Amino acid sequence: MTNNDVIRLIRETFDFSDATMSKIFSLADKQVSGTEIGNWLKREHDPAFKICYDDELAAFLNGLIINMRGPKDGPATVAEQKLSNNLILKKIKIALDLKAEDLRDIIALTGSSVSNYELSAFFRKPDHKNYRPLRNRLLRNFFEGMQLKYREGQ
């Protein structure tokens, strides 16, 4: 799953406008134009398509956390230079204030399931013996479930 897919799916799920997307980036001290956002949202075959790099997606996800939960006390979070599916899920979990049961329910909306053990393994540090990398398919199921949950009735 690409960073562009993640931004595209979040935008579709919450029906964010270009202005809202720019505001979310600015909350994480990252200034982006509507053109940049538009180019990230394009499909790979479009000549104007641009790759969204890890630090850009990390800034967006940090801004999403601030947008949904409010700013935290202390120094601003620095955007990570390298993202994994596990970290993407963790940041969305924080932004939406989701508990393990909420995550399982969202994934279940797609007909898939995940155990509490598996979920806890996704949120462990990579050097922990019980850490498991989150596969693209499960992250896609999560986003699909998010769309079903948050776009329901729109």
Residues 62 and 101 grouped into a single domain: no
Q: Give the distance from CA 71 to its chain's centroid.
A: 18
Residues 144 and 101 grouped into a single domain: yes
Query: Burial of 91 by CB count in 10 Å (0-12 exposed, 13-18 middle, 19+ buried)?
Result: buried
Residues 10 and 49 grouped into a single domain: yes
75 assigned to some structural domain: no
Of 69, 84, 113, the last residue of a domain is 69
* Percent of the chain with pLDDT strictly greater than 70: 98
Look at residues 95, 109, 113, 119 and name the one whose alpha carbon lies nearest to residue 145.
109
Q: What is the domain extent for residue 128?
A: 97-150
68 vs 64: CA distance, rounded Å: 6
Averaged pLDDT, 7-13: 96
Q: Which residue has the tokens 């956390």?
A: 65
141 assigned to some structural domain: yes
60 vs 21: CA distance, rounded Å: 8
Q: Using one digit for the tens of pLDDT, what is the confidence trace for 62-71? A: 999 999 998 8
Q: Using one digit for the tens of pLDDT, what is the confidence trace for 102-140? A: 999 999 999 999 999 999 999 999 999 999 999 999 999
141 vs 146: CA distance, rounded Å: 8
92 assigned to some structural domain: no
Residues 56 and 111 grouped into a single domain: no
Of 69, 86, 118, the last residue of a domain is 69
57 assigned to some structural domain: yes
Residues 65 and 111 grouped into a single domain: no
DSSP 43-57: -TTSTT--PPPHHHH
Q: Which of 7-21, 26-40, 61-75 has the lowest mean pLDDT?
A: 61-75
70 vs 59: CA distance, rounded Å: 15
Residues 59 and 104 grouped into a single domain: no
Whole-number pLDDT of residue 35: 94
The pLDDT confidence band at residue 75, using thresholds 50, 70 and 90, is confident
Residues 57 and 113 grouped into a single domain: no
Whole-number pLDDT of residue 21: 96
The pLDDT confidence band at residue 79, using thresholds 50, 70 and 90, is confident
Of 29, 52, 69, the last residue of a domain is 69
User: What are the structure tokens assigned to 76, written together?
Assistant: 């601003």
The pLDDT confidence band at residue 72, using thresholds 50, 70 and 90, is confident
78 vs 9: CA distance, rounded Å: 23
52 assigned to some structural domain: yes
